[in-house]
Structures are given as C-alpha cells and as structure tokens.
Amino acid sequence: VNGLPLVVMELKSPSNEGVGEDDAYNQIKAYQKQIPSLFVYNAFNVISDMLTTRAGTLTAKQERYMEWKTKDGEYESTTIADYTTFFQGIFQKARLLDLIQNFLCFDKADGKAWKILGAYHQYFAVNKALQRTFDAVKGDGKIGVFWHTQGSGKSLSMVFYAHLLQEALDSPTIVVLTDRNDLDDQLFTQFSKCKD
C-alpha cells in the first residue's frame, strides 16, 4: 500500500548465539518508535531467529506473538513450529489476504485499542466451521461442535465466526448459549469491544 509494508519482519541470524527472538521483538518496538510511518498500514509483524518464528500485531506484547504450526490446517507440529512451516502456512497468498480481511480486529477498552491477529488454530477452526455451516444450511441442519480448551481464545473465535457469518449469510440469527454467568459476561464484553 503506497510502498509501505503490510508486514514488518525482523529476522535474526541463527548462527549468532548472542541474539534471538527477544532481540527481534525489541527491534520491532524500536522501529515503531523511530519510524512510526512504517507502521501506518501494518497488518502484523514477524519476529524470528529461525529457531522460533512468531507473528503479532503492533500493539501485542511479546508473549502474544504466536507461532503458526501448520501449512494447511491438517498436520500440526505440536512442538516448535519450524521456520518453513510458519512462512508456508501464513504467507500462502489467499490465506494472507483472508487473515488481513477477516482475522484482524481491534479490541477497544478503557480508551485504548489493541490490534489482534487470529491464531492459526482460530483461523482454521473458524473457516472449517463456516464451511460446515454452509453444508448444514443446504443439508439436514446438523453441524457439529467447535471445541476449545480453556484460554485458547474461544471468545475471539466466536467474534471471527460471527463476522464471517454476517458477511456470508443473509441476516443470520446467532444464539450463544453458555453454562456460566462469568462466561456470559466474558462473551458480551469481547463482542462489545470488537464490535467495529
């Protein structure tokens, strides 16, 4: 866009034991302070020392930078995702465009805005759920279960899924059932903060 990057990458040499992913993250943060115009059209950033490669947004703390552990959503490396898996997984052209269009959101609270990039498991799960929804609408109405472990981002997955349903179907009705009041509050809060 206008010659400015959508993705800023800081890659550190794997042969230099004196630098690593922490240095890559700190360098990105230094660029944000020193060259803010570089981040005007920024979708997300990549930090890597080739041992660990992660993506995160300009507002993300280092622990929120996430690996991309699959090239195609089928096979997942459950240990450390290698450099090749990350780049072939996240930078496949159609997927990159889909991430930018449908899996970036702003979480606004207390006068601040946090830019959020969906994680790889959210990306593939939401897209599979969307396809199953289309199949169910055309078929018998049965769809299945979208399962998350605690702390894996189920609220954001629901935000991304609801957004895509609104885009794809003609005025869908979305009903959310929970079994706890705190989960009701969590979901209401998450949807409210990401409503834009």
Mean pLDDT to the nearest integer, 23-33: 96
Confidence check: pLDDT of 61 > 70: yes
Confidence check: pLDDT of 29 > 90: yes
Mean pLDDT to the nearest integer, 131-135: 90
Distance CA 120, CA 66 (A): 8
End-to-end CA distance of the chain: 22
Q: Residues 186, 155: contact at Cβ < 8 Å?
A: yes
Encoded tokens for 42: 């920024």
Strand intervals (E) in the chain: 7-11, 44-48, 53-56, 104-109, 112-117
- Closest to 124 in 3D by CA, of 101, 90, 93, 100: 90
pLDDT of residue 87: 92
Residue partners of 27: CB distance under 8 A and separation at least 6: 10
- Which range (46-50, 97-101, 173-177) has the least confidence? 173-177
- Closest to 57 in 3D by CA, of 16, 104, 126, 124: 104
Confidence check: pLDDT of 189 > 90: no
